[in-house]
Structure 1
Amino acid sequence: MQPAPRPCPLTHPASSLSQHGGINLAWHAFGLLAMPARAQLASFITFKAPMNSLSEFTQQPQTGLLSVVVPFFNEEEIAFDACRELVEQLQQDAQAWELILVDDGSRDATLSELARAIETVPQARILQLSKNFKQTAALQAGIDASRGEFIATLDGDMQNDPKDIRPMLSKLRDENLDLVAGWREHRKDQFLARKLPSRIANWFISLSTGVQSIDLGCGIKLYRASVLRQIRLIGEMHRFIPIWLATVTSPERLCYVSVNHRARTAGQSKYGISRTYRVLVDLLTVIFFLRFSGRPAHFFGAIGLPMFLAGGGVLLWLATLKLFFDQAIGTRPLLTLGVLLMLSGIHLICTGVLAEFVVRNQSSGFKARTYAIRQVIEGGGSKPAQAHH
């Protein structure tokens, strides 16, 4: 029997969304590091782009429709079974649904296996990407193509249980939430290769962002589409969607629930201990964006201004020795250090100013897509749609 869902707010009790005031650069340089994170990121990742600028097939969300998005990459051994299991589960519910399968540039027979699985399923379609754009872009492609009021995402490796969709959707609706994220309470993965790095990453993210993170890596999540479409996934940021959402909606409307997790039965995992480096880079990127995405001058100023002041102090001290005590300073290493500190400080401050111009003048009306679609294959025996570029 599936464990009862355990709601878990994603907000750290001490965090808040208040904005930091003041315009003096020196004040910000020393005070911004303690500034609440989510408020600064919100202005950067939200956008008001026209719907048709995101995708040729994006339409107004259909009330009550559930869109299920599943990315696949080189999963020929399990693609057919995963798709059929998902379809059978969705057909058991009275809920109106559509299934969007994203083939992320697979080099094996994944596409043909998916096409075979949806031959008799008119609610399903396949987006074949022109190359491997990675999981974040594949998810974004499926989200852009979705037409539902609610969006569910799952991994294509059959480790997520489709039976969890119904209770998660019910919780989303009944409690008026914007995100219900899965928590692999009894995870069926290797401890050193998967569990331990995941726990360390979740702990570090919670500590550094103020957003409590239990299991960001779990692929099964249920979203309210109107909220999810306010953010844009880039890079490899699919792991941090709950953090992004916490910037555009009340954190009390986000929660985790315990879900079933199954061991992989076929195919090869795309993750392992080797991805630790990429995860660490992603974490640093997240921290930077959370704190400084809307005001990059504060990041560079927080480093450059102290260096400039320190260099100025050193040179002022040396100038005093030269002018009032007639001491030789030309061969002192302290002179070189002072000059380098001042020049480095000026360079960092100027970089921050230029970054401010870039951020404040970037266009908010258009967001370039991070993927390209080769073709769309409709289920139910339909012919492939015209390719999108």
Structure 2
Amino acid sequence: MPAYKLSVVVPLYNESENVNPLTEEIAAVLDPTGHDWELILINDGSSDDTVAKVTAVQTENPRVKLIDLQRNFGQTAAMQAGIDAAEGDLIVTIDGDLQNDPKDIPRMIDELIERDLDLLQGWRYDRQDKLVSRKIPSRIANKLIQKISGLELHDYGCSLKVYRASIVKQIRLYGEMHRFIPIWMATVTSPHRIAETKVNHRSRQFGESKYGISRTFRVIVDILAAFFFLRFRARPGHFFGIIGLMVGALGGLILTYLGFAKYILGEDIGNRPLLLVSSLLLVAALQFLTTGVLAEMLSRVFFQSTSTRSYVVRQAPKPLGKKDDNS
């Protein structure tokens, strides 16, 4: 297996107790691989001494880099900051709570290259989390994402992932979209280049979890946004047009029925609620259709003004060379 330049991205928020063991474990598993690697630790506005711990580690290991965000922007923004700063051909993301096992990283890198993938997603097959606060919300979210996206993955929320840098750098992450990275990746690469593999999952030893069941409701809104950009990013008029035509057809059917009742059966329809409903449906249909036209115009202006293409030419990462057998 040829050697590559690797960038390991780790968002940290109040994980001071995990900094030393995490960096030691990552160094222990990556040093023997022959890959050139860097470890990018992003402090996401921690209120503990996470920065001090990372600074101390930097004096001992020059491969460690620190990105110190001004405040807590959230895991998605921290992950995007790390991806932006990454210099490797392959990028690995992993949580800073030690629940992901760094020993899985070399195997995942080899698997991604052997299977010619752009994203290899970790699957926490034997998850070590509390049932109510973590497992149930995660299962609900994963099922929803599967239905909306069409990607058959079991664990979208696992932060342990390996990407081709040339692909993941083509997308931008906002809000809480780190859970939907496979969906965003599917907008720039073929779904068959996105796969998953079983990884080890460990119980949390230090610190407290930052997640809870309330995240499920925010995830639902994010799923709708992800679905829109996945299916209709370059043709938003189709999204609004389909809704407008369906609403308009329903309003037209109701008006047809009312017309039959008035002119054939001789009934009085002036005070019937269906008349108001059908009128509102037709007005809503017109609004959806005009919104679709405006969205199409904005989409075309965006692609033309930013020189963004509607296609992406694939570029394979260049290996650094064969690994040294004595390394």
Q: If the TM-score is normalised by the length of the shorter chain, which range does it land in?
A: 0.7 to 0.9
Alpha-carbon distance in structure 1 between the residues aligned to 2:39 and 2:83: 11
Matches within 5 A, 1:1-389: 64-315=4-255, 329-362=269-302, 363-365=305-307
Alpha-carbon distance in 2 for matches of 1:276, 1:200: 7
Give the deviation of 1:323 after TM superposition: 7.3
**CA 1:186–1:336: 2 relative to 1, 3 Å:** closer
Distance 1:309 1:242, change over 3 A: closer
Q: Is the 8 A contact 2:57 2:64 kept in 1?
A: no
Q: 1:239-282 CA distances to partner (integer Å, 9 max, x unpaired)?
A: 12223223433333332222111110011101122211112222
Determine helix, strand or coil for the equivalent of 1:266.
coil
Q: If the length of structure 1 is used for normalisation, what is the TM-score? A: 0.71
> C-alpha distance in 2, partners of 1:205/1:321?
45
Q: Distance in 1 between matches of 2:185 and 2:259?
A: 54
With over 3 angstroms needed to count, the CA separation of the structure-2 counterparts of 1:207 and 1:314, relative to structure 1, is: closer
Could you say if the C-alpha distance between residues 157 and 342 of structure 1 is closer, same or farther in structure 2, counting changes exceeding 3 Å? same
**2:314: which partner in 1?**
none
Aligned-partner Cα distance in 2 for 1:190–1:327: 63
Whether the aligned pair in 2 keeps the contact of 1:89 and 1:163 (CA below 8 Å) is yes
Tell whether the 8 Å contact from 2:112 to 2:118 is kept in structure 1 after alignment.
Answer: yes
Query: Partner amino acid for 1:285?
Result: A
Check the 8 A contact 1:203/1:213 in 2, yes or no. no
- For 1:88 and 1:343, the matched residues in 2 are separated by 65
Structure 1 residues 175 and 293, CA gap change in structure 2 (3 angstroms): closer
Tell me, which stretches of 5 or more residues in structure 2 are unaligned?
Answer: 309-327
User: Please, which moves more after superposition, 182-191 or 91-100?
Assistant: 91-100
Please report how far the alpha carbon of residue 312 of structure 1 lies from its aligned counterpart in structure 2 after TM superposition. 4.2
Question: Which one-letter code corresponds to 1:260 in the other structure?
Answer: N
Distance 1:339 1:127, change over 3 A: same
1:83–1:114 contact (8 Å) kept in structure 2: no
Distance 1:82 1:304, change over 3 A: same
Provide closer, same or farther for how the CA distance between residues 322 and 98 of structure 1 changes in structure 2, counting only shifts above 3 A. same
Given that residues 137 and 212 in structure 2 are in contact (C-alpha distance below 8 angstroms), is that contact kept between their aligned partners in structure 1?
A: no
Q: Secondary structure at the match of 1:126?
A: strand
Moved more, 142-151 or 207-216: 207-216
Residue identity (%)? 50
Verify the 8 A CA contact 2:29 2:106 in the aligned structure 1.
Answer: no
Tell me if the contact between 1:64 and 1:96 (Cα under 8 Å) persists in the aligned partners: yes
SS in 2 for 1:78: helix
Shift of 1:231: 2.0
1:194-218 deviation per Cα after TM superposition (whole angstroms, max 9, x unaligned): 2233233323322332210111111
* SS of equivalent residue, structure 1 residue 74: coil
Amino acid of the residue matched to residue 284 of structure 2? S
Q: Secondary structure at the match of 2:287?
A: helix
1:317 and 1:159 map into 2 onto residues whose CA distance is: 61
Whole-angstrom distance in 1 between the partners of 2:30 and 2:58: 13
Query: Gaps (5+ residues) in structure 1?
Result: 1-62, 367-389
Partner of 1:32: none
Tell me the amino acid that sits aligned with residue 364 of structure 1.
T
Shift of 1:315: 4.5
Which deviates further from its counterpart, 191-200 or 320-329? Answer: 320-329
Letter in 2 for 1:200: I
Does the CA contact (< 8 Å) of 1:80 and 1:116 recur in 2?
A: no
The 3-state SS of whatever aligns with 1:68 is: strand
1:164 Cα offset (Å): 1.2
Shift of 1:82: 2.0
Give, in whole Å, the separation in 1 of the partners of 2:118 and 2:254: 54
Partners of 2:187 and 2:230 within 8 A in 1: no
Q: CA RMSD in A?
A: 2.5
One-letter code of the match for 2:143? Answer: W
* CA–CA distance in structure 2, aligned partners of residues 215 and 305 of structure 1: 36
Tell me the distance in 1 between the aligned counterparts of 2:17 and 2:106.
Answer: 26
- TM-aligned CA deviation for residue 176 of structure 1: 2.8
Higher relative contact order (CA 8 A, sep 6+): 1
CA distance in 1, matches of 2:216, 2:255: 44
